[in-house]
Amino acid sequence: MEGVLVTGSALVGLDGECVRCLERISDEVEVPFQELFVYHDQVSHRGGDATPADPEDDETSRLEGDLLDLEPLLRDAVVLALPFQPLCEDDCPGLCTECGARLADDPGHAHEAAIDPRWGRLQELQQGDD
């Protein structure tokens, strides 16, 4: 009665990086959406408002004649469906804090215990003597 109810779903290809190890991620999500597009003249007569609403602030989706613009609707739906912190795997161990190696590629990755920074200067002297 007031407009056209649009229901659908979009298959979206994702491309990004794991937040822990920066590994490239490619994925697909199916994004459902639904929105009522109101007939144009319905909006302007609503409530008898004297001051016309700023079209930029107006959240109402409208028909443009016989056409409707799916882009804003689709963009909002896709943004909400995106993972907030994408991971290559749920238990991605991330990167080595010392050398930046990707730990998932090298599960046994380890370093010798770091020298206490207070002795670092001594180590430099020792290397100088060699």
For Zn ion, the closer CB: 20 or 62: 20
Strand partners of residue 6: 35
Site residues, Zn ion (CB under 5 A): 18, 20-21, 23, 88, 92, 96, 98-99, 101
Q: How far is CA 47 from the centre of its chain?
A: 38
Cα(104)–Cα(87) distance, integer angstroms: 12
Q: How far apart are the first and last CA of the chain?
A: 89
DSSP state of 102: B
Q: How far is the CB of 12 from Zn ion (least distance, A)?
A: 21
For Zn ion, the closer CB: 4 or 82: 82
Q: How far is the CB of 121 from Zn ion (least distance, A)?
A: 24
Q: How far is the CB of 71 from Zn ion (least distance, A)?
A: 32
Q: How far is the CB of 107 from Zn ion (least distance, A)?
A: 12
If you search the block for the tokens 């004297």, which residue do you land on? 50
For Zn ion, the closer CB: 10 or 25: 25
For Zn ion, the closer CB: 2 or 27: 27
Label residue 2 left, alpha or beta by phi (over 0 means left) and psi (-120 to 50 means alpha).
Answer: alpha
Cα(59)–Cα(54) distance, integer angstroms: 10
